[in-house]
Amino acid sequence: MIRKKLFLSLFVFILLWSSVLQADTENTEYRLKEMTPTIQKALNGQKSRSSDIQVLKEQGLIGEGNQGLIQMLKPSKEAAPLIEPENNDRAIIYDAIIQQNKLGPVASVQVAQAFVEARRTKAKPGEFFQDAFGKWVKK
């Protein structure tokens, strides 16, 4: 059983990293080409929550998951109402990038991983991230 879990974890890790490396080698640029009302609403939502989310990250209550979405690490009345709207807005933006750049459905992992890496790079010491194996690590 442990061997099976290890193999599955290794497979997921290789799959995720090969997607990121493929995006790097193709010099793909993930950006929004057109600002629609839906995208603008999602970006405004993210902006309005950003300081609250940052405080929750600093408190160790939420972290950046390995699929480009935030996750609650500890039960919190403050975090709970922010997670779903933030993740929905992220999904809207990821989907818009995929559609506007004509990347196709396979690119969803690549786009999410590009955002994961960008957020991990910009993170402050003490914030939590989920590695490719699903383990939470502190920066």
Enter the pTM of the model: 0.77
pLDDT tens digits, the chain, 139 residues: what are they? 554 443 344 334 444 443 443 444 344 567 888 999 999 999 999 999 999 999 999 999 999 999 999 999 999 999 999 999 999 999 999 999 999 999 887 888 889 999 999 999 999 999 999 998 999 999 9
Report the distance separating Cα 127 and Cα 139, nearest Å: 6
What is d(CA 128, CA 60) in angstroms, rounded to the nearest whole number? Answer: 7
Task: For the chain, give every domain's residue range.
Answer: 2-138
Structure tokens at 135: 């383990």
**Of the candidates 47, 62, 57, which has an alpha carbon nearest to the alpha carbon of residue 122?**
57
Contact criterion met (CB below 8 Å) for 128 and 64: yes
The alpha-helical segments, DSSP class H, found in 26-131 are 37-58, 80-100, 108-122
